[in-house]
Structure formats: structure tokens, C-alpha cells
Structure 1
Amino acid sequence: MADDDKTPGRQVITDYAQAHFRYFRTADGTVFAQRNNHPVARPIRSQGTSGSHRQELMVGLFNDGYGVFSGTALKEALDLIEALAVTQDVQPVHIRVAPGFDGATWLDLGRTDGQSVRIHPTGWDVRTPDPREVCWRRTQLTGELPLPAADTNGKGIDLLLRLCNFANAQTECLAVAWLIGCLGPSVPVPAPFLTGPQGAGKSTGGRMLVRIIEGMSGDLRRAPKDEENLIAAVAAGWVTALDNLSHLAPDLSDLMCCIVTGAETIKRALYTDGDVVRARYRRPLLLTGIDVGVIRPDLAERLLPLRLERPAVRRTEAELWRDFEEALPAILGSLLDLTVKVRAAEADIPTDLRMADFAHLCAQLDAATGLGALNAYRTSLDDLNDDVIEGDLLAQTVLKYADDLTPGDPTRMTSTQWLHTLTGLYTSDDHRPLPKGWPTTGKVLSDRLKRLQPTLAARGVLIDWGRTSESRYIEMTRPPGPPPPQQESIL
């Protein structure tokens, strides 16, 4: 055959690719390739070790008898495919959990055959999703889950609770509620903070909770030293677990708040002058540690303290993880059964809690099982408020001042006047010096009070801001009526 009659390599590759793969783009413009009738999608520009589209295209061409093509032909073909895909419809890709059609949600089992769990209003089943309904994205953090066991009659949850060293029944039901929340793609869930004495199995318990969702390859990590690395780790998996925290710097605390409730980062694309890369993230977060020191109020509203206790009988690591791996299919099956039951339960949405979606899930869990998860969640938040107040001398001073307020009679002063008043009240005790971090200006005081506003409101002290024709003011009042009830701690 004359050279002029040969089909160029880039044309052969392009024809083969369009016959065997579906190409589409996401909202941020990334083009993905999805093998026909298979739910896993790969970005065509990826060179990752988890398997790139370029690699699967080369292997497919070779196995189907088309031979080996040069890198130039592959690049030219992929450039053309990418340009054609830009005009296609936009479709999202998901890691581990995804919304489906008709109110269903999907759980990726991480299997090479693409089989996944479909959780629908009347039950759950294992099937391969329609590629146009769900597109899974896999990374090195996507571990494989076993096929869940059916008809477990709840024994899997009992097996899990026997393996973990949770301190009491209230902590157990909050852990179960969090696991159910992790199976919801659109429900922000607070971050469990596993605490307890040394030797209570906090890291082991955290790994077990993570591996129910992420498979046996899921693990805990040290907190990265910078925001960019943490966001990269968050974006590559579903559950992010940080181990053995001893201090929460303000920047890390703020970033954790964003991870729990969702945020977006934008940075300049490599080798470009004006293009940008957008990264959206909202993921379940899990923390372990004995004590992290002072907790900022905004993070406290997004935490779920789970206390563990030292076991009476120690077991070897090999024995413990062998039992867990054997129990994992039953644990996953029982969790799916309970998730279906909880989602079908009707309950009022609590309107007084910040994480209202999770509070509603706790109320549904109570309606389905009678466990008392909502009261346990309220009590855990009350304990966290105590921790915030114990670690903040300004909050303690405000509460001391508010003790002398007449209920229903607001006190208004400028921020500078409040600073002078609260500073005088603090130093009046034995003329003690001001602590490090005490507000130095009225503006700093106002900003600190805005962070403390929910914590103080939970203790019956309302802070508000307003303006007269002459100046701005801060108003402090105690509402009329009895003070908020103090719930007995479960931790």
C-alpha cells in the first residue's frame, strides 16, 4: 500500500477512542473519558499512578491488534478529542458517594468491575450504575470495599460496637449517625473528634470508622503543614482522617470549618498567565487526639466529640484487624439497612442547631430506633461550649458581667466602652495583669464577640450590634425567663 493510502495514526486512535469511550467535561472544564458501559471515568490529561486514560487507550489499541503508536500520534489524537469534548454536555464526577436518579444515592465499592451499591427509598442493591447516571473518579485513596452482606438483622452494628471502645451508648449512637451521614452526598456532617485517655484505642477506632467507608486501605494521617497539601488530600478521597492532634492553629481551625461545610479554592493554572483552577470540596472529616487545647467557637459547632475508654482486655493488632476484616461485609450491610430505615423515617427538623442537616438525621435515627441521638448531640454541643468558655478568658469575663444584668433590660455601649468595662472587671480581681491575646482595641473586641456570639447565646447572654445617629453600639442582654437548661454531660 502506498504511503498516501495509509490512515494516519492519529486518525486510527481517534476512531478507536470514539468507538470505545465516552468523553464529557465537568463544570470546571476538565475533560474525562469513560469506557462504554463502565462507570469509572478518568481525566484524559491525567498521568497519575492510579491509571491514566492515555495508558488505558494504549493498552486497548495493543490488545485489539492495532499495534503500538508513537507519543506524537497519541498527543495529537487526545488534543483533538479534548477539543471535541468541550462542546459536550457537562456532567459531574464523584468520589465514593454520589446522588442518583429518583432519590437514590450510590456508594462506590472501588471494584474494577464497577459494581456499586444503590441506596434507594425502599432498600439497597449491588449493581453497575448507568454511566450517564453516575461517573466515578478513582484515585490512589480509593480503596476497595467488600460486597455488603444482606439480611444481617443489625448484627454488623453490634460487631462494630464490640470492636470499638466507645465510652457509653450515647457516644455509640452518635458514631452510627455519623457513618449514616457519610453515605449522604449532600448532607454536611460534623467532624467526629475521638478523645480519651492514653491507650483508649483512639487511632484504632478512627481507622475502623474510616475503613467502613474507604475500605481496608483507608488510614489516618498527620495534619499537613500547609493548606495546599491538606486540600489536595481532601479532594482525592471521601473521608479525611487526621490523627493525634495536639494543637489547632487558627488557620487549620478555619480550614477544618471549610472542609466540613464546604468551600472553594482558586489558584493559577500551571504554565498559564490568566487561567485558573477551581477546587470545590466538602468532605467528612475525622480527628483523633487526647487534647487539642483551646477550641475556637466556629469549629466547636462543627465537632462531634466521641469519647473512648481503655479496654479491660487487650488484643493483638493482627487479631483485632482480622476480626474487623471478617466482620466488614456484615458491618457495611447493617449500616446500609439502617440507612434505608433512617431515611424513610419522618421527623421534625431542629431549627436551633447550626448543623441542622445532621441534627435532622439524628432525629430520624431516633424515630427509627429510639436511640436518643438528638439529645446526645445537643449534650455534646453543650460540653463543647463549656470547653470554649474554659479556654477563653474574655468569654468568662462577659458571663461574669452578665450575671448582674436585669433580664430583658439591654445594656448598650460602644465597643471602646465595652473594652474599658470588661478590662476593668477582669483586672479588678487582685489587679491581675491582662492575659496574652486580650483585645487591645474596640474593633478587636467586637470581632472576638462575633465569634463568641453563639457560645454566649447558649449560656443565655445575647450579643447584638446596632447604630444610632451618633455612633455604633454593642448590645448585651439576658432574655426574660428561666436560663437555658444545663444538660448532664455524657462524656
Structure 2
Amino acid sequence: MSNGAFENEAPKFWARNFPVVPLNGKVPVHAGWQGNLGGIPNEEKQRELLVAHRDNNIGALLGVLLGADKVLVALDVDDDRLLKLTLQLLGLNRSERRSLSGKRGKKGATIFVRAPKSLKSTVIKGAAGLGNIDFLAAGRMTVMPPSIHPDTGKPYEVVGTSLLDVNLADLPEISERHIKLLKTTIGSEYAIVMVAGKSTHEAGVALVAVLVRAGATDEEIADILAGLLPDDYGGDSLRELPGWIKSARDKGFEKEDDDEGTQSAKLVSLALRESMAPFRDKAHKDIALVTLPHTGPSIAYRVNSSPVKLWLRHLVHKAWGKPIGANPLLEAIATLEAIGLFDGPSFPVYARVAGDTKSIAIDLGREDGRMIKISSDGQTIESNLTHKFVRGAGFESLPLPEASGDGLRRLQSFLGLDNQNYRLLLAFLVNALKPQGPYFILLVEGEQGSGKSFFCEVIKRIIDPNQALRLRLPDKPQDLMIQAKEYWLLSFDNASGMKAEMSDILCSLATGGGIAVRRLYTDDELHVLTYMRPFMINGISGYVTRPDLMERAIPIKLPPIGEGGRKTEAELMKELQAMLPSVLAELYDGIAHALRTYDEVEPPRHLRMADAARWIRAAEEGLGEKPGAIIEAIAAAQNEFVVDRVNDDPLVMALRTITARGPFEGYVGDLYVRIAEIQERSPNRGLPQSPSRLSNQLDRMRPAMAKAGVTVEFLGKDRRGRRIKISSENMSLPKF
């Protein structure tokens, strides 16, 4: 028994989040002690343990999580002759040494290291009289100083820096490759000769051949031989070593590993051991993705993407000391893709924004994978969220939020917005951070020189910064969906018009829908593209004409910028970057308020996009606005926008002319004849070209025309066709 070892040391380990157990000698007091790895006991249980086992030895449990993908493990070296080899292979004997942390008992030493979670405990057996090295992982424990060794009666001693004081990130890392090399080395009959330091030439040549065959690099072979030879060795083996290695390689000892099939299989195993985690996209079940250890469990990459290929090439170079060919690399990637699709778990995959009406995660774009989590309690910075994010082409980072209390009002002044347009801006910003659709569309109009493009660029930098800040509105629906795959917030610049097909697919992008196209190189397979995204379009005017798109919009009309009020782009960007952290802090606070109140808020039913409007309504007071102020700003802007557009429509102008002296009542065909007469006097391509097209256009535009004072009533059908009645409010008549 030690004098108060457990009582004195256990609280220190618990404070560092290390689970420990009381021991009798080297044996845990309690059965089922492995369960303590799940967490630290509560304060009451801690007091009980300290009172009951104050003089017991103390054992630290291994397998404690260190970061996202590494755990604390140990190499228990029970032969002093193998300690130098172990330190050398781990890089602890070099000038750029890692932190050495361990302990010593009767013989040898135990060295603490980091390892992938996938590694299991194993015994590395020595041959020809050498001792063993126990690799201790999760489910094992080790006796800690100042416990008393049961054989010597003396306390265990710290080697290097105590585990309680060491920076865990500075501990050396061990991989499956290290273990393989240790097994190859000390399991060889030649290792004992090198340890003795006598007659080492033949044994050294033979051991080098064994290591080359095992795939060791030149540097690893040099570390191993330097670790085996005694400190007082005075022979020539290390000087002759480069020649031995060259000879072994020239003789083809490593050729058995050059087979492409063998290389691809080895690479797959190596990637999985190094914590690459394949999975499949829940929404697109034919897409496999992976997470990589250096960016954490939340950042996902498509298996065949350039970052994954580069990571695999670097992994091969680091592990094997040589490049891998294109064919085995592609075979390995195809195998990893199959593992993800058929054996991997299924996760939803997000771009920039994830979550639901309870909590939201925002990918800041940081290399360390840290993200913003917003809940009803506020916003926090998190490292290990469960959401999976992809980062599209040109993805850029957001700054960390920093509250100052005036960020959003500074933004209003910076953009020169009146209160009406400021509320519309707030509406779209909140809308764009809604993790699930549907979404309002931002339509920005203004004459040349009103700053439309810059206004949209500012919004893009607040929500989803990217190198592609301004996109051209595509001509084809499949091109639009490909852009939606890459970006969370799409910004289409300088639109001048759009086809009916593109207007319809934009509505689908905002509210949910997709397209099915023929899969490349096939005749009978379809590839479905379906995404829901917030987006914005800017242009001078008139680029949106169809009511379906108008009624899903938040329209903003910007006034022209005075000639004396212009600044350089560099000046504007510097000012924006300075205020951006405070803008984000206040905006995220508004989102937190929306999460708190969403379930209590009634959807504004006078707007077509009631679900999207409900989210904005829930955030209003968190943004410093009165209840209903932002919603009413949207309704007023929509009504004014729709009326302006409808009054400019050629069909509406024709209907006003026809009904100037009273309502029209009759068949659609008769109405078409009247419109055709107007067309003869003043040709206009915007007028319908057949009775059926006229009927369809009246159906589609009827709600919007009602807002402009043109009423369309359908009176039923008979054998002559569809009967209608059209009336209009008195307005000045357009001239044809």
C-alpha cells in the first residue's frame, strides 16, 4: 500500500479529465473497472472513492479521447535494451523531440503516446531472449506514480514530464505502421545481435533486408538500427548502413509490394487505420464521402475529390517513403467509395448551414473545423459537432462573431438604407440562415450606379463568402442545380431577363424540387438533382415577369448613389471587414431568438411563403424590431412590386383597353380575337399567340392581376369553350 497515493493523486487526474481507478498492487479493486472510461465520477462518488481507498495504488485508464480522432495509449517496454529503440522510432531521440512522458517501475519503462482510435491492444514479442513491448490501448490501464511497486516496495518514478503536466498535443503519435515495424524488428533473430553490439555486419545486412521487405523507409531503417545499437557502440555499421539499404533495394527485396493490386489494398487499409471515415449521403444515396483526421469529423469530402487524392498521396509518402502510381490510387479510391456506399453509415450532408428549429450549426470555414452552434440559449464555438458539411469550390471563411451592440445599424448606415429597405435586408439575412427551406428570393433592382452588385456581394460575405461572389444566371436548369450543389447562397448578377423554364426552376430551388437528367454515358439511367437554397438576383428592372416568382420574393429597390458619396472598393472592403464580426454576432443573436420563439409564433398567413415568413417573424424582436414590422415591410414591398410588374405586362395593358368602357363577358376565343385586333394595330411579342395560351396565362396571372385592379372570373365551359368575365378599375388607357 502507498501512503495516500490514491487520495492525493486521483483528484489531479480527474481535473484533467483522466479516469483513474484504485489498485491493490497492480490489480484494480473493483470488477468492471473498464466502464470508468466512459466519464469522470460525480463529486459524491469521488468523495466515496477517496475515503475508501486513500492508501491504494492508482491506475490510469487508457483510451481517453484526445481531440477528434486520437486516444491516449501506452507502450509498456519490459526490456531496458528495447527502450532506446522505442524512443528512436517515436522520434523522441531527435533534436526536434516531442514531449516524453512516461513512468518506470522495476524495469524498462512505459511511454505515453497518441494513437488512432482504431488501434487495439497487442503484444509485440521479442525473439531470441529479448523482452516484449505491450501496446496498451482502450480497455487497459497502467499503474501510475507514486504508487508502490509490489515487487520492489519502491514508488514508481516519472520519466520525462508527468502525464499530469505534459501538453497532450505534444505527445508522439504511434500508428499501425510503427507497431508493424516494431514487430518485424524485435521479432527478428538479428535484433539481439545488434543490441549486443558485436559482430554486427552480417546481422545488420540481414536485418536491413527484412525491414526493406516489410516496406520500411530509409529513415525508418536508420532509426531502428540506431535504436538497437548500444550507446557505447564503436563499430562501422551506421556508416555502412546506406550501402546495405541500397543493396537490399537493388536486389529487389521490396518488389513484392510493387504489385498494383497489393498497393491499392494496402492503401485502403492504411487510410482506414488513419481514421478516414467513409459514409454515404442520406439525400443522394449514390454519393460516398469521407471525413479526414486533420479537419475533424464534421468536414466531409467527396471520395474522388482532389483533397482526398492529395491526402492519400501524402499518406503514402509519409508511410512508405515513396509515391503511389495513378492506377493503384484510383483502385483504392473506388474501393473506399464502395465501402462508404455499402458498409458506411448514412448522414445528411450540408453546405454552410445545418440544423433544425432547435439548433443550428454554421461552418465558419476554419482549417481546424471549429463551427458556430446557435441554440435558444445563444451562440457558442464548437469543435466536434455531429453535422457533416461539404465545402464547395471557392469556399471561404467567416470571422468569429464579436458582439459590440451596433453591428446591424452600422451595416444599415454603411449601405445607405432607409428603414424599409433595412427591414427587407434583415428579412433576407435571417431567411438565408434558416437551415431548412422554403426560402424567400431576394430581388434587387435599381438604375445603373445604384450599387446593386456591391449590395449583393455584402450579403454574400455575411452569409456564405466564396471566391465566386457573383454568378451569371445560367440558361439551363442542370447548370443551376450544379451551382446549388456547390454553394449555400447563390448570387446572380446583372440579370436582364429569363426564360419561363428558368423562372419555374428558380421557384423549385426556393421551395423544394429538382430535375431528372440522363446520367452521363447511359441511355436508360436518370440522375436526379434536387436542392433547396436561398438565392438573390440583381438587375436594372424587368428581369422577373412571372407572378409565381414575384410572390416568393423579397424585392428591394435601391436608390442611385450620389456622385459625391462614392468610395473605392478597397475602402469599402476594409470598412465591411471591420464591422463584420459584430454584424454576425447580432445576426446570430437574432437567430437564437427565432429558435426560442418559433414554436409560439403563428405563421403570417397573408404571405404566400408562410413557413419562411414564420421564421422571420420569430426573429424580429431579437433583431431589435417591433413584432410584425419586418413581415409588413415584406408584404408592402411585394404588393408594390407585383402591381408595378403586372401593370407593365402587355396582356394586362390589352385587357384594360378592352374593358375601358365596361366588363368583357364571353368566350376565351372571342377575347383572343379582340386581343389579335390590338396586335394588328401595335404588334407585341408579349401577347399570347393562341386561345389556349391566353387561357393558361389568365390562369397563372389572375391573383397578380387582381392586386392591380384587373378581375378575371371563370364562368364554366360549354361546347364552344371556356366562358370568362373580365373587368378593370378605371385608369388612364395605354396607347396601342
Q: Would you call these one fold, judging by a TM-score over 0.5?
A: yes
Instruction: Read off the aligned partner of 1:43 and give its amino acid letter.
Output: R
Alignment partner, residue 143 of structure 1: 396
Provide the C-alpha distance between the structure 2 equivalents of 1:91 and 1:294, rounded to a whole number of angstroms.
37
After TM superposition, list the pairs within 5 Å mapping 1:89-488 onto structure 2: 89-99=345-355, 103-130=358-385, 133-149=386-402, 151-153=403-405, 155-166=406-417, 168-215=418-465, 217=467, 219-292=469-542, 295-309=545-559, 310-311=561-562, 313-345=565-597, 346-366=600-620, 368=622, 369-370=625-626, 372-398=629-655, 413-420=666-673, 432-433=681-682, 435-459=684-708, 463=712, 467=716, 470=719, 473-476=722-725
Deviates more, 1:178-187 or 1:59-68: 59-68
Relative to 1, partners in 2 of residues 1:471 and 1:127: Cα closer, same or farther, differing over 3 Å? farther
Q: CA deviation at 1:10?
A: 2.4
Which string of whole-angstrom CA distances, capped at 9 and with x for unpartnered residues, describes residues 257-295 of structure 1? 233223312223333443333221222211222223562
Which string of whole-angstrom CA distances, capped at 9 and with x for unpartnered residues, describes residues 322-355 of structure 1? 1111111111111101121233334321223222
Relative to 1, partners in 2 of residues 1:84 and 1:444: Cα closer, same or farther, differing over 3 Å? same
Relative to 1, partners in 2 of residues 1:473 and 1:214: Cα closer, same or farther, differing over 3 Å? same
- Cα RMSD over matched residues? 3.1
The correspondence for 1:85, drawn from 340, 346, 350, is 340
Instruction: Read off the aligned partner of 2:355 and give its amino acid letter.
Output: P
**Native 8 Å contact 1:179 1:209 kept in 2:** yes
Q: CA deviation at 1:177?
A: 1.2
Q: CA deviation at 1:460?
A: 5.8
Alignment partner, residue 11 of structure 1: 265
Relative to 1, partners in 2 of residues 1:160 and 1:64: Cα closer, same or farther, differing over 3 Å? farther
**Native 8 Å contact 2:643 2:707 kept in 1:** no
Q: CA deviation at 1:225?
A: 4.6
Instruction: Read off the aligned partner of 1:165 and give its amino acid letter.
Output: G
Provide the C-alpha distance between the structure 2 equivalents of 1:474 and 1:262, rounded to a whole number of angstroms.
35
**Native 8 Å contact 1:190 1:358 kept in 2:** yes
So what's the TM-score if we normalise by structure 1? 0.84
Instruction: Name the % identity.
Output: 24
- Check if 1:39 corresponds to 2:298: yes
Provide the C-alpha distance between the structure 2 equivalents of 1:89 and 1:137, rounded to a whole number of angstroms.
17
Q: Secondary structure of the equivalent of 1:246?
A: coil
Provide the C-alpha distance between the structure 2 equivalents of 1:466 and 1:23, rounded to a whole number of angstroms.
60
Instruction: Read off the aligned partner of 2:464 and give its amino acid letter.
Output: E
Alignment partner, residue 313 of structure 2: 58
Q: Secondary structure of the equivalent of 1:359?
A: helix
**Native 8 Å contact 1:210 1:239 kept in 2:** yes
Provide the C-alpha distance between the structure 2 equivalents of 1:46 and 1:293, rounded to a whole number of angstroms.
37
Instruction: Read off the aligned partner of 2:324 and give its amino acid letter.
Output: F
**Native 8 Å contact 2:647 2:708 kept in 1:** no
Q: CA deviation at 1:358?
A: 2.8
**Native 8 Å contact 1:120 1:340 kept in 2:** yes
**Native 8 Å contact 1:264 1:278 kept in 2:** yes
Provide the C-alpha distance between the structure 1 equivalents of 2:576 and 2:440, rounded to a whole number of angstroms.
25
**Native 8 Å contact 1:207 1:218 kept in 2:** no
Provide the C-alpha distance between the structure 1 equivalents of 2:320 and 2:314, rounded to a whole number of angstroms.
10
Instruction: Read off the aligned partner of 1:341 and give its amino acid letter.
Output: H
Instruction: Read off the aligned partner of 2:263 and give its amino acid letter.
Output: G
**Native 8 Å contact 2:594 2:619 kept in 1:** yes
Which string of whole-angstrom CA distances, capped at 9 and with x for unpartnered residues, describes residues 404-455 of structure 1? 879xxxx87442234346667x68xxx9445333234321111111221220
Provide the C-alpha distance between the structure 1 equivalents of 2:689 and 2:519, rounded to a whole number of angstroms.
41
Which string of whole-angstrom CA distances, capped at 9 and with x for unpartnered residues, describes residues 454-485 of structure 1? 20233465546575575653444789xxx9xx
Q: CA deviation at 1:380?
A: 1.0
Alignment partner, residue 30 of structure 1: 287
Deviates more, 1:293-302 or 1:359-368: 359-368
**Native 8 Å contact 1:359 1:377 kept in 2:** no
Which string of whole-angstrom CA distances, capped at 9 and with x for unpartnered residues, describes residues 214-263 of structure 1? 23745123334544434322321111112222333434433432332233
Relative to 1, partners in 2 of residues 1:230 and 1:381: Cα closer, same or farther, differing over 3 Å? same
Instruction: Read off the aligned partner of 1:34 and give its amino acid letter.
Output: T
Gaps of 5+ in 2: 1-212, 214-252, 730-736
Relative to 1, partners in 2 of residues 1:157 and 1:10: Cα closer, same or farther, differing over 3 Å? same
What number of residue pairs does the alignment pair up? 462
- Check if 1:68 corresponds to 2:323: yes
Provide the C-alpha distance between the structure 2 equivalents of 1:468 and 1:316, rounded to a whole number of angstroms.
63
Provide the C-alpha distance between the structure 2 equivalents of 1:363 and 1:80, rounded to a whole number of angstroms.
49
Which string of whole-angstrom CA distances, capped at 9 and with x for unpartnered residues, describes residues 353-398 of structure 1? 2222232234334455217111111111111222222221322444
Q: CA deviation at 1:66?
A: 6.0
Relative to 1, partners in 2 of residues 1:403 and 1:141: Cα closer, same or farther, differing over 3 Å? farther
Q: Secondary structure of the equivalent of 2:346?
A: coil
So what's the TM-score if we normalise by structure 2? 0.58
Which string of whole-angstrom CA distances, capped at 9 and with x for unpartnered residues, describes residues 120-174 of structure 1? 12211111243xx31111122311111111x433x110121121122x2011011
Q: Secondary structure of the equivalent of 1:86?
A: helix
Provide the C-alpha distance between the structure 2 equivalents of 1:362 and 1:403, rounded to a whole number of angstroms.
42
Relative to 1, partners in 2 of residues 1:477 and 1:441: Cα closer, same or farther, differing over 3 Å? closer
Relative to 1, partners in 2 of residues 1:474 and 1:65: Cα closer, same or farther, differing over 3 Å? farther
**Native 8 Å contact 1:141 1:237 kept in 2:** no
Provide the C-alpha distance between the structure 2 equivalents of 1:215 and 1:22, rounded to a whole number of angstroms.
28
Relative to 1, partners in 2 of residues 1:187 and 1:152: Cα closer, same or farther, differing over 3 Å? farther
Q: Secondary structure of the equivalent of 1:267?
A: strand
